[in-house]
Amino acid sequence: MSKYANMFSPIKLGRLEIKNRVFMSPHGMVGLGIGTDKQVGYFEARAKGGAGMMVIASCQVVPAPLVPPGWFIEAYNPEHIPAIRRIVDAAHKHGAKIAVQGVWMMADPATAQPSGIAPHTVLSDSQPRSMTTAEVEELIEAHAVAALHAQEAGADGFEFPISGGAGLGSFTSEFYNQRTDKYGGSLENRMRAIVEIVEAIRRRVSPDFAIGIAVNADESTLGAAGIDDGVAQCKILEATGMVDWLRITARGQKPQMTQYHYPSSYLEQEGTHLDAAAAVKKAVKLPVVSGGRIMTPAFADQAIADGRCDMVFVARSVIADPEWPNKCRDDRLTEIRACIGDLEGCFLRSCFGQAVGCTVNPDIGYEYLGDVEPAAQPRHVVIAGAGPAGLQAALVAAQRGHKVTVLEKSDQIGGHVTLQAMLPGLSDRADIVRWLKLQLDKLGVEVRLNTEATAQSVAALAPDAVLVATGARYSKTGASKNQLTGVKGAQWEHVFTPEEVMLEHARLGKRIVVYDNTSYEVGPGIAEYLASKGKEVVFVTMDAAMAMSVTELGLNKVIAKRVIPKVTFLPSTEIREITPADVRVRNVFTGEETVLDAIDSTVLVTSKPPQEALYHALLGSGIDVRIIGDAREARWSVFATDEAIKDGRRAALAL
Ligand SMILES: Cc1cc2nc3c(=O)[nH]c(=O)nc-3n(C[C@H](O)[C@H](O)[C@H](O)COP(=O)(O)OP(=O)(O)OC[C@H]3O[C@@H](n4cnc5c(N)ncnc54)[C@H](O)[C@@H]3O)c2cc1C
Ligand SMILES: Cc1cc2nc3c(=O)[nH]c(=O)nc-3n(C[C@H](O)[C@H](O)[C@H](O)COP(=O)(O)O)c2cc1C
Ligand code: SF4
């Protein structure tokens, strides 16, 4: 029996028998196609990895012209039934049960235009017109048709969200729903459309087919209803006698405070939604599924034991490691490739309209290919640099049977990820390095520390191929896309880069300017780190706010809220000159110049030139040489680690 007996005991959702309490929460892995090997393989890997229950995310219940084609399964479209069937069959093969999530994104089924309709005109990025009563009835019917399609495809159930940024939340929310007909007003009226959807589905499907509802039980972040309203909604759902599970989240308890129902970031603790779930559980007998940033079986098991939920939902832990459930069950915790909660490879990609992946797991979408193919001809591969790009490349190259030697000039592996992990709140990042090292040790890969790769030292090893993964280092000139000529005075000895401050133990004075022109989390992170060491920090940026590149995630607000009280914040400001004693700055809008006096040190968080000299030196040597990670293309903002790891994988597969 598993050490985590609660988590790995069976449970019933309606008539469905689920083998354990791990519920793979719906997550739209856009970019894998519809019913393709990539999409099916994604689900199969996670079913094989041990999830008891799974949900196929965001299947549309009406045509949604605003959604890019091919992003989500069209549950309304009978032509998509075979795609659902392929996924369902793959999940069933490994003993998992699987439901379709039907989602209405407020698209208007009557028009082919990318326009929306809403229960009542809502305050969002736009304000679509209010629905007629006939349109509400049409929408109810659309959910029933979608559920029937799911059943025809062999799915075990149908889940739909009624809050948390989904369209139906504009019915349930007293904040959004201002209708005066039978679908607006009292709680019963606001829930009427939802109850009618449940009834319509139940009339169509067999009694064995389960119905689940995702309820955001605390919408208070935006000033809307809190947990009492959420609990009352759940009681109404239970009273129908037709609902088989409630999946509970609580947007109001998350720190990001965006309009949308985002997963919580690394800044949140395990079990983000469990307080709301516990409140719901006290009021209903239905199985309650909940979680949020669940990372460890000990926590999950205890949450179930404490009666805070009956099943735990996990999205990102199984994105990062498809085997997460089985590794938890077997207590093989050191084997888990942990989610670092950065939200970049997954959620942020989709915000930018890009294919979704995972920062730490470069194998997303390739699961269907199985284990990596052995190389046709094993070679001796030297990898220069043991950052994430070099380490991932070493892993895949060794898995393919190549003899791998990694040269690292510093006294530790990890490259800039080690630096990331030193910043406040980012210690989880170190797991990237820990996990890769564990794999390399198992494969017997030789890693030589304190060994600089030069054209001569590499040639002396007589390798068949070299991967240059030497990374990038922050500019010493202060040049950035906003200030191409650099910062006057950057050459002074009291001006430092992040590497010098964090890794090379530069001696800093008491009063420090941190100049950030990367719009990312690094500048604020370093400012907070220095403030925590008792330094007086002035944070200067040409941007109007902090960490603008993570605005889509709402993380900019959390970071600003955390860092601004600890520093003096000068937005929309450029450094004109650093002198031995002070820093002259100018407001980029008014042109007004001021002097920050008695500044002991300045830290430049600006551009990051690739460390590419080794690559160029080796090019004419006759050795097969390739360049990867930041050394190939340095990124100082989002997706940097993600790209470095993917690059390492790609390069090693091409050897
Ligand atoms: C403070 C900070 C926070 C960050 N936060 C994030 C984040 O939140 N998300 C994100 O995606 N990215 C972030 N990044 C960026 C990310 O860490 C890098 O983009 C990523 O580490 C690049 O990986 P890499 O393997 O290409 O290079 P690096 O990580 O730079 O590794 C290169 C390695 O090569 C070694 N090396 C260099 N020259 C030689 C040589 N000649 N011989 C042998 N070894 C050599 C170096 O010592 C180093 O260990 C952050 C960076 C910093 C500094
Ligand atoms: C990339 C991504 C896509 C998601 N898409 C959906 C979705 O389509 N429907 C949904 O209800 N939740 C979606 N979610 C939210 C998850 O179901 C889950 O509630 C959230 O990620 C918190 O769980 P976690 O901390 O275990 O990741 C998504 C999450 C991620 C990371
Ligand atoms: S991209 Fe980041 S947050 Fe998303 S699953 Fe991967 S590690 Fe976790």
DSSP 217: -
- Long-range contacts, stretch 295-300, CB < 8 angstroms, 24+ apart: 295/270, 295/338, 295/339, 296/270, 296/328, 296/333, 297/3, 297/4, 297/7, 297/328, 297/329, 297/331, 297/333, 298/4, 299/270, 299/271, 300/4, 300/7, 300/21, 300/22, 300/328
Is residue 98 pLDDT above 80, yes or no?
A: yes
The stretch 197-218 carries a mean pLDDT of 96
Beta pairing class for 16-18 and 210-216: unpaired
Is residue 259 pLDDT above 70, yes or no?
A: no
DSSP 263: P
Query: Can you name the CATH fold of 371-473+610-653?
Result: Rossmann fold (3.40.50)
Q: What pLDDT score was predicted for residue 109?
A: 58
Q: Which residues contact 469 (CB under 8 A, 6 or more apart)?
A: 383, 384, 385, 386, 387, 389, 390, 393, 627, 628, 629, 631, 644, 648
Q: What pLDDT score was predicted for residue 554?
A: 80
* Phi, psi (deg, nearest 5) at residue 58: 50, 45
Q: Which ligand is nearest to the CA of 555?
A: 1
The stretch 571-580 carries a mean pLDDT of 98
107-127: pLDDT as tens digits: 665 554 444 566 655 455 566
Q: For residue 66, count other CB atoms closer than 10 A to its CB.
A: 12
Q: Which ligand is nearest to the CA of 615?
A: 1
309-334: pLDDT as tens digits: 999 999 999 999 999 999 999 999 99
Residue 606: both structure tokens together? 């600006």
- Ligand 2 within 6 A of 162 CB? no
Q: What pLDDT score was predicted for residue 105?
A: 80
Q: Which ligand is nearest to the CA of 264?
A: 2
DSSP 385: -
The stretch 9-18 carries a mean pLDDT of 98
The stretch 335-343 carries a mean pLDDT of 95
Pick the atom of ligand 3 nearest to 347's CA: 4
The type of residue at 588 is V
Pocket test for ligand 1, best of 408, 470, 635 (most atoms within 8 A of CB): 470
What confidence category does residue 352 fall into, taking pLDDT thresholds of 50, 70 and 90? confident
Q: What pLDDT score was predicted for residue 224?
A: 67
Sequence-ordered strand ranges (E) for 255-344: 288-291, 311-314
- Ligand 2 within 6 A of 262 CB? no
Pick the atom of ligand 3 nearest to 315's CA: 5
Distance in Å, CA 457 to ligand 2 centroid? 48
Q: Which residues contact 590 (CB under 8 A, 6 or more apart)?
A: none
Distance in Å, CA 210 to ligand 2 centroid? 21
* Phi, psi (deg, nearest 5) at residue 563: -90, -40
Q: Which ligand is nearest to the CA of 468?
A: 1
Same fold, 11-368 and 495-605: no
> Is residue 1 helix, strand or coil?
coil
| 637/630 Cα distance (integer angstroms) | 12
156-186: pLDDT as tens digits: 999 999 976 668 888 888 877 888 899 999 9
What confidence category does residue 13 fall into, taking pLDDT thresholds of 50, 70 and 90? very high
| Sheet hosting strand 446-448, strand order edge to edge | 446-448, 403-407, 380-384, 465-468, 624-627
| 6/309 Cα distance (integer angstroms) | 11
- Ligand 2 within 6 A of 357 CB? no
- Ligand 2 within 6 A of 651 CB? no
What confidence category does residue 482 fall into, taking pLDDT thresholds of 50, 70 and 90? confident
What confidence category does residue 410 fall into, taking pLDDT thresholds of 50, 70 and 90? very high
| 170/509 Cα distance (integer angstroms) | 54
For atom 2 of ligand 2, the residue with the nearest CA is 27
Counting beta carbons within 10 angstroms of the beta carbon of residue 89, is it exposed (0 to 12), middle (13 to 18) or buried (19 or more)? middle
Q: Sign of the CA dihedral 354, 356, 360, 361?
A: negative
| 518/482 Cα distance (integer angstroms) | 9
> Is residue 492 helix, strand or coil?
coil
Q: 245: alpha, beta or left, given left = phi > 0 and alpha = psi -120 to 50?
A: beta
The candidate with the shortest Cα–Cα distance to 291, out of 265, 271, 319, is 271
Is the domain spanning 495-605 CATH 3.40.50.10860? The answer is no
Answer yes or no: are the C-beta atoms of 578 and 602 closer than 8 Å. yes
What CATH code is assigned to 11-368? 3.20.20.70
